[in-house]
Chain A
Amino acid sequence: MTEPRKFRYIGRHRRAVEHRRFVVGKGRYAADIQLQGLLHVAIVASPHAHAKIISIDTAAALAMPGVHAVLTGEELNVNTEAMLPGVDAPQVKRYPLAHGVARYSGEWVVAIVAESRALAEDAAELVEVEYEPLPHIVDPEQALQADAPLVHAANGSNVIFQRVFNWGEVDAHFAAAPHKLSYRARWARSSTVPIETFAVSAWSNDATGILDVWASIQMPKFPDQLARALRMPGNAVRVHFDVDVGGSYGVKRGLKHAVLVGYLARKTGRPVRFIEDRLENMRGGDMQGPDRIFDVTLAFDGRGIIRSMRMRAVDDVGAYAGRSPLQLGKPVGAIIGPYRIASVQYEAISVMTNKTPQEAVRGFGQAPTNYAIETGIDKVARYLNMDRIELRLRNLIGKDEFPYLIPSGTTYDSGDYATVLGKALDAAPLAEIEKERDALRARGQLAGIGISTCLEPSGGNSAFEPLFNPKNQTTTWMDSCLIRIDLNESITALMGTSTSGQAHETLVSTVVGEVLDREPDSIRVLHADSLNALPSNSPVGSRMAIMLGGAAAGAAKKLRAKLMRIAAHNLGLPESELVYQDGNIAAKTEPAKRLTWGQLVEIAHRKIHQMPKGDEPGLQEKFVLEVPTGGKLPTADGRVQMYPCHSFETHLVLASLDPQTCKVTVHRYVCGHDCGVMISPDVVHGMTYGGIAHGLGAALMEKFAFSDDGQLLSGTFMDYLLPSSMEVPSISIVDHCTPSPLTEFGQKGSGEAGYLGGPAAIASAINDALAPVGASIDALPMTPYALWHALARAEKNSS
């Protein structure tokens, strides 16, 4: 496929189906679910980074009128299964409530259930917990030392995962390279921090044995894991996916929340709800993001051609781990970025500390890795005194080189990186931005231009599971769709996961409308519950345009094929002589000889005597889509096809900092973006704008800071700073389309767009601004305080 196909509905502006309910206040979020007799949960959390729990006195709380239950880990942990990490570390056991030892400040210790949240909080104040503080560890590098206090003594080490991968002739390439350059890049602990905190309600029906759950989740295999943890059959836990989720971008996993609330609902026989308050979300919600130290060495020649890379990444996952160590695994699938780097040594180390646990964040670890790579590309340019754009152009994989096999075993599907970069530079245009930079410098500002060229792997497979855990042989990460056409001629599609802002109803209705040639706004899209859903792995890994879009197209194509069979049978003509338009089917040469959509539907629903032999009555089809290129286990040396499709983005940023206050202003922002065919351009642009804003936060503002005592210092929006409309600049997006040869319409993923290259470009601009005064900074977030230090260091060095 070289040229994008022409479409009737795909790629056009249309209003998202979901918006109508949101603008009138009729969204249905987990906290909006009304249940009769609802009880509410409040939490008592550990104030210590690491402490032995000596005793818990719950008597006064239990005695309070309106309190229904007070739960500790002692009861909960013997009655539920531990939530295990994604890597092979069975001794790192995690339960919703601490038992015996609390391993981070904010960890849940006691849960109180009462008639109202206010009463539950009143009762929480009456719980007395006696602690004996234990030695704690908050620095990830110190946690690697042999004498470091152990977060989980039974694990014998704070390291939960470590492996060195060697892909290609790393030593030979390094030996032959005339230049080597080493650097350290630091990605700080930030997260997506959705405005909706995590909410979950559960109700256990003793008569049916079903536990109904409404939760603000975005989590693969959530119902299965919840049932397992609660020791219930899979068909006894019904998770309702028809709740609107108020943002997630990866983090809304909430398994521990749901295990706790599910257990309490079964214990009390009443519906139970827990909604995190903001501090609970920030401190004890277990939703902080990657926290990494990269040590990188690049080997290159005098022309700037980079031959090889050694990268060591230490990621601080906090006190417990779910899938967080796997966030060092996903970047294996794009470990050389968009560049022709021939060999790579990659050491991935996940280490535990006495901090809030890490969860999946937009890009699943790719944004930090992209930042680390891009930092090096700029450094090589500076070292060789070469233009950063020219250096990139020399190393970017050419558009005729696809499919391109990278050293770690993934094949990139398609791309035209140099063209996208060129389009962004032209749109800026670069010369004008350079003029603006010079004008800012002339006014005494430290101004710089930033550039990044990065990949967004998409199509969300889970190949990092077997890569990082040999006991896990997952090779599929399917998604699916069921479509029905009813007797009244309407189309309804059913998807098997919840949505957290990605407009999946619009995605599915557009795709189904395209295939069946019917107006998308007439197509209803519903979210199933877990007991009537086909398998889904939720909207993670930039996968839904590819996977849900592909499954919806697959089911729609089956229906279209069935309609064609019905028409051929009834018109007495072979299908090759029929034409399908708007759902009606007519003879090519004799248009009057036709069956309308309504007639075809009626035959299928009422007239089995007119149906072709072998076809079932009715019109309903399902499609379960396997990830393109999936199905293979990693090789012994850790090569694997990670994700199928690879979107590309380039960012061009003009930023300045005031030398007195170190306040950063972003003046211009251009993003060149290629995610193949866009099914809903407004949705893609929206996610890209949002990803850029999120990236700006990670680059300049956001940090979960901890004191040496292991206390979270930024647990509110007064100190964990989110970008507002005043910090996020006006952004220009320049689209380009290189279709993927692997997908139904040529689409690639875009849910992580903007965030994957934004921080790198902003950091690049800051360093370009600092370079004239001999300063530099390779740690995020580049806050005014951090920048002031960088300037002070440079001043000291020069004097």
Chain B
Amino acid sequence: MSKIKLTSIAIKVNGVVREAQVEPRTTLVDFLRDTLFLTGTHIGCEHGVCGACSVLVDGDPVRSCCMFAVQADGLSVTTVEGLAPERGKLSAIQDAFCEKHAMQCGYCTPGMLIACHALVERNPHPDEAAIREAISGNLCRCTGYQQIVDAVKHATGAKSGAHD
């Protein structure tokens, strides 16, 4: 097998431009995890269904398992590590996830947070239907989604469901 040619890329990740040489076949999620050691972004299915690998690319939620790192060249990527306003603080959504017990094993959580941040960016006061729609591409096996919905309602000032 001949040696695979590397390609130079520069991606702005969580506000910092990261330059690297990657194989063209390297997925964005593998680049984030294995090259930048940003292991907060998780891998669940590698075929674009579960949403665990979601990141924001130029502000939009994207499955980083279905995108090559070279495709993100020149773009801006936000991972879960970049959601907090500053070190030691939490975003309103992150804080609400803690308050409402919106996770158990935490594995889908980064992808869920990305989906919820993208939602609130577009729609600061979503109703339950909008929240469920926004997270419908992110699978969770622990929570039954209820406390995630509650958390987004809590963060956006809407009335929460049971067990407030």
Contacts and interface: CB of A to CB of B under 8 A. Distances in A.
B105 A692 contact: no
Contacts of B99: 15
Nearest to B90: A23
A64 B1 contact: yes
Given A246-B106, A501-B142, A724-B139, 4 more contacts: A18-B106, A25-B38, A26-B40, A722-B141
Q: Which of B38, B83, B135, B140 has the most CB of A within 10 A?
A: B140
Interface of B: 1, 23, 25-26, 33, 37-47, 49-50, 52, 79-81, 83-84, 90, 94, 97-101, 103-110, 113, 128, 131-133, 135-149, 161-163
If over half of A's interface residues share one DSSP class (helix, strand or loop), that class is named, otherwise mixed; here it is loop
Contacts of B109: 22-23, 27
A247 B81 contact: no
A195 B141 contact: yes
Nearest to A18: B106
A305 interface: no
Contacts of B80: 23-25
A192 B141 contact: yes
B142 A25 contact: no
A774 B30 CA distance: 54
A89 interface: no
Contacts of A275: 43
Contacts of A732: 162
A29 interface: yes
Contact of A718 (B25, B47, B90, B146): B47
A285 to B, nearest CB: 13
A194 B107 contact: yes
Contact of A19 (B98, B133, B140): B98
A26 B103 CA distance: 14
Contacts of A501: 103-106, 142
A118 interface: yes
B139 A717 contact: yes
Interface stretch (A430-438, A509-517, A677-685): A677-685
Given A501-B142, A681-B163, A20 B98 contact: yes
Contacts of A122: 1
A510 to B, nearest CB: 13
B64 to A, nearest CB: 13
Interface string A219-253: 00000000000000000000000001111110000
A533 interface: no
Contacts of A777: none
A604 B135 CA distance: 53
A500 B106 CA distance: 9
B47 A25 contact: no
A16 B79 CA distance: 23
B30 to A, nearest CB: 8
Contact of B142 (A118, A244, A686, A725): A686
Contacts of A730: 128, 146, 149, 161
A244 B1 contact: no
B145 A725 contact: yes
A567 B139 CA distance: 54
Contact of A244 (B45, B101, B106, B128): B106
16 contacts: A19-B98, A21-B106, A22-B106, A23-B80, A23-B103, A26-B40, A27-B106, A29-B42, A122-B1, A246-B107, A278-B47, A690-B143, A693-B145, A717-B45, A717-B50, A725-B133
A562 to B, nearest CB: 34
Contacts of B141: 192-195, 247, 249, 690, 693-694, 722
B47 A196 contact: no
Contact of A118 (B23, B94, B146): B23
Nearest to B81: A25
A132 interface: no
Interface string A720-736: 00101110101111000
Counting chain A residues whose Cβ lies within 8 A of the other chain, the interface size class is 35 or more
Contacts of A193: 141
Contact of B139 (A118, A503, A722): A722
Interface in A694-740: 694, 716-718, 722, 724-726, 728, 730-733
Contacts of A502: 104
A464 interface: no
B39 to A, nearest CB: 4
Contacts of B84: 24
A667 to B, nearest CB: 14
A685 B163 contact: yes
B144 A690 contact: yes
A277 interface: yes
Nearest to B95: A23
A34 interface: yes
A31 interface: yes
Nearest to A65: B1
Contact of B144 (A245, A717, A731): A731
B42 A195 contact: yes
A24 B109 CA distance: 9
Given A15-B99, A716-B45, A733-B163, A503 B106 contact: no
A725 B90 CA distance: 25
B44 A278 contact: yes
B44 A689 contact: no
B44 A24 contact: no
Contacts of B1: 64-65, 122
Nearest to B23: A118
B101 A19 contact: yes
Please list the 10 inter-chain residue pairs (A to B) with the smallest Cβ-Cβ separation, ordered nearest first. A25-B40, A246-B107, A22-B106, A501-B105, A693-B144, A501-B104, A689-B144, A25-B80, A717-B49, A682-B101
A722 B52 CA distance: 14
B141 to A, nearest CB: 5
A687 interface: yes
Contacts of B137: 724
A422 to B, nearest CB: 18
A658 interface: no
B58 to A, nearest CB: 20
Given A22-B103, A681-B163, A689-B143, A716 B49 contact: yes
Interface in A13-49: 15-16, 18-27, 29, 31-32, 34
B105 A245 contact: yes
Contacts of A685: 101, 147, 162-163
A730 B128 CA distance: 10
A733 B163 CA distance: 8
B87 to A, nearest CB: 9
A266 B62 CA distance: 40
Contacts of B139: 195, 717, 722, 724
A118 B4 CA distance: 11
A20 B46 CA distance: 26
Contacts of A683: 101, 104
